[in-house]
Amino acid sequence: MAESIVSVDVRTVTLPLPAPVRNGTKTIVGREYAFVRIETISGAVGVSCAFTRGTPLRQVVRDHLGAQLIGRSPFEIEQIWTDLFRSGETFFGRSGVFPRAVSLIDIALWDLHGKLVGRSVADLLGSVRTTTPIMMALGYYRQDHELEHLREEYSSLVGLGFRRFKMMAGGASLDHDLQRVAEISSVLSPDATLAIDVNGAWSSASEALAFLDRIDRQIAFIEDPFLPDNEVALRELRRSSNVPVAIGEWESGRSRFAYLIERELVDILRIDATAAGGISEWLRIADIAKEHGTRILPHYFPELHVHLAMATPEVEAIEVVPRLTSADNFDELAVRRPWDEAPVTSVADRPGFGIEWNAELVSRLSGGGWDAGSRDAVK
C-alpha cells in the first residue's frame, strides 16, 4: 500500500521560565510552543515545534491547512508547500501567522521524510561538512546582580572554548548598556567575537550610532537595531557605520529576503525556518543569499538549523541560548543535545531531525493523547 498521510495533529504547550528575563524590548516569563504531528498510514510520524509568538498557529493549522494533507504522499513536500501557500496566501498574507503555520507543516514533513527512509535531514539535503560552529546568545537583562551574572555567564563559556557570543542591548540607558558591554568584554578572550542584539528597541540611526561610537571593541554585527519597517533609520545607519547589520528573524518568504539583499539593507541574514516558510523556503532563501554573496546565521532552534548548516556553506554558525541564562526551556520538551559543552557541533545520528521528544510532558500539558511515534523509520 502506498504511503499516505492519515492525520495532522496540532497542539500548544506553555512552559514558565525558571525566572523572568528581559531582552531589549520585553520581559519574558514563559514560552508558548506549537507542535504539529503528521502521521502516515504505516504509523510513521513527523513532528515540528516552534514558538507561537502569540499568534493563533493552532487554529490556522487545524482549521485551514491540516485537512489539505490527508491522503497526500508525505514525499511530495515541494508540491504540498506550493498548494498550502496558494490556498491561503490571498486571505492570510505573506507574513505573520500564515507562513509560520506553513513552516510547521513543512518542517514536520521533512522530519517524516527522513524517518521513512532512515536518513537525517542533513543527509537528505546533501551535507557538505560534518560540523558547524556555535554562537552563544545570552546577556539578558536581570533584576538583581546583573553585572556579576554577566561576568560569570560569559567567563564560564569562554572556559569551555566558546568564541562566538551575542548580548542584548537597547533595554536600558546608553550608559548602562555600555557598562554591560565593558563587563562582558573584560572576560572575553582576545580571539572572541561579540554581536549586539537590540530586538528593534531603537527608533533612529542617531541612537544606534551613539551606542556604536562609544564601544571600544570591534562588534561582529548589530542585530535588529530597528523595527522591520524602519528603512529610513536602517539606511542611515548603513551609510554612517561599517558595523555589519543582521536582520531577518521576523521575516517570511523569499521575496522579502530578496528585497533586503537587493536594496543592500543587510549583511547577515538571520533566517528562521520556523517563521520564513519551513525548510523548503529556507533553502530557497539560502540560494538567493549565495547568489549575492550574503552571509547567513540562522535564528535560534539549533535542533533544526544544524541540519541546514551542514548543507549550506554560507552558514557561519548556529545560534544557541545556553541553559545558564534561564531564558530557554526547550530542553524540558526534548532530550537536549549537548549544545553547552563545545564550540562546534555535529548532527544527531538519527533519522529526520533526530529530536527525542518528551511525549509524556507534551501530552499532559496539551490535553492528552499525543505521542511522537514509536518508530524512527519504516523500512
Nearest to 163 by CA among 132, 194, 197: 194
Q: What pLDDT does 326 receive?
A: 85
**Predicted pLDDT at 2:** 87
Q: Which residue has the cell 498557529?
A: 57
Give the sheet arrangement for strand 5-22, strand by strand: 5-22, 27-40, 45-51
What structural domains does the chain harbor? Answer: 5-118+355-365 (3.30.390.10), 123-345 (3.20.20.120)
Q: What pLDDT is attached to residue 211?
A: 96
DSSP reduced 3-state for 155: helix
Q: Is the separation of the CB atoms in 238 and 215 below 8 Å? A: no
Helix runs in 15-173, H state only: 57-60, 77-92, 97-117, 121-125, 146-159
Question: Which stretches of the chain score pLDDT less than 50?
Answer: 374-379
Q: What is the DSSP letter of 62?
A: I
Residue whose C-alpha cell reads 537597547 in the numeric block: 170
Please give the C-alpha separations between residue 80 and each of 72, 75, 86, 177, 278, in angstroms, as whole numbers. Answer: 8, 9, 10, 46, 12
What does the pLDDT look like over 230-259, one tens digit per residue?
999 999 999 999 999 999 999 999 999 999
Which pLDDT belongs to residue 155?
97
Q: Is the pTM of this model over 0.85?
A: yes
**Dist CA 337 CA 356 (whole Å):** 10
Four-point Cα dihedral 27, 30, 32, 37, nearest 10: 140
Q: What is the pLDDT of residue 78?
A: 96
Opening angle at CA 11, ends 5 and 13, nearest 5? 150
What are the φ/ψ torsions at residue 166 (nearest 5 degrees)? -135, 150
Q: Which three cell numbers stand for residue 301?
A: 532552534
Q: What is the pLDDT of residue 371?
A: 87
Give the CA angle between residues 73, 362, 65 to the nearest 5°. 35
User: Is 197 in contact with 137 (CB distance < 8 Å)?
Assistant: yes
